[in-house]
């Protein structure tokens, strides 16, 4: 699997490259700034790109803007965004095109190597994965969560983390049928119409951000 890394911190960039190589990934590029990142992404079209939100020259949102621009030219280009903090705007923008194959993780999650590698593989396969802490903070920012039952909120949180119905059922010690019923209720409350796109599961979280 071909991976591109965009990270300005030398130690983290080198560490990611070594770690992913050890797990069998082919690191096709490791860049340290955002000026030409969009062009590089479009040219190389990696199986997945691991990108820091803030890159030189301005250390604001170069990484995010480059990822969004590249996905506009290459729809569904798999991208995993890394950030030091929970950025509500960044999460919403990243998911706004509804094509999936995206992720948002806090940098401290990189320390859990196996989970990090698994996340990269999920995103490369088209899944949407959000950091549990990101999900929790996004959800707690909305007073409208009062419309959901505590059990529905738990299902929503686990859904947005990228978990399957079976995994949610195991985590909550309920049946998969119960999980399916909760999800259908969530979609109805959030006004999300039936769709074959699993990305709708994460849009259930983002629906609150746009109200």
Give tens-digit pLDDT for 81-116: 998 876 666 666 676 666 779 888 888 888 889 989
Average pLDDT over residues 143-171: 80
**Which sequence spans correspond to the domains of the chain?**
2-130, 135-210
Assigned CATH topology for domain 2-130 = Rossmann fold (3.40.50)
Q: How many CB atoms lie within 10 A of CB 58?
A: 10
Average pLDDT over residues 161-173: 87
Buried b (16+ CB within 10 A) or exposed e, 123-146: bbeebbbbbeebbeebbeeeeeee
CATH of domain 135-210: 1.10.10.10
Query: pLDDT tens digit string along 56-90?
Result: 988 888 898 899 899 989 999 999 999 887 666 66
Average pLDDT over residues 125-132: 83
- Closest to 139 in 3D by CA, of 83, 92, 209: 209
């Amino acid at each position: 699997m071909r991976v591109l890394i965009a990270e300005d911190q030398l130690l983290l960039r080198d560490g990611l490259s070594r770690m992913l190589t050890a797990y069998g990934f082919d690191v096709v590029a490791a860049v340290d700034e955002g000026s030409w990142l969009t062009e590089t992404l479009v040219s190389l079209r990696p199986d997945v790109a691991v990108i820091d939100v803030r890159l030189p020259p301005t250390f604001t949102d170069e990484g995010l803007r480059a990822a969004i621009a590249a996905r506009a030219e290459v729809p569904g280009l798999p991208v995993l965004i890394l950030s030091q903090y929970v950025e509500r705007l960044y999460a919403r923008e990243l998911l706004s095109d509804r094509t999936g194959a995206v992720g948002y993780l806090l940098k401290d999650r990189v320390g859990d190597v196996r989970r990090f590698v698994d996340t990269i593989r999920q995103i490369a396969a088209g899944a949407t994965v959000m950091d549990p802490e990101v999900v929790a903070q996004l959800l707690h920012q909305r007073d409208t969560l009062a419309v959901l039952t505590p059990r529905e909120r738990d299902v929503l949180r686990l859904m947005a983390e990228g978990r399957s119905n079976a995994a949610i059922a195991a985590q909550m010690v309920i049946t998969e049928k119960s999980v399916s019923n909760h999800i259908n209720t969530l979609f109805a409350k959030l006004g999300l119409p039936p769709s074959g796109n699993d990305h709708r599961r994460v849009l259930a979280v983002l629906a609150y951000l746009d109200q």
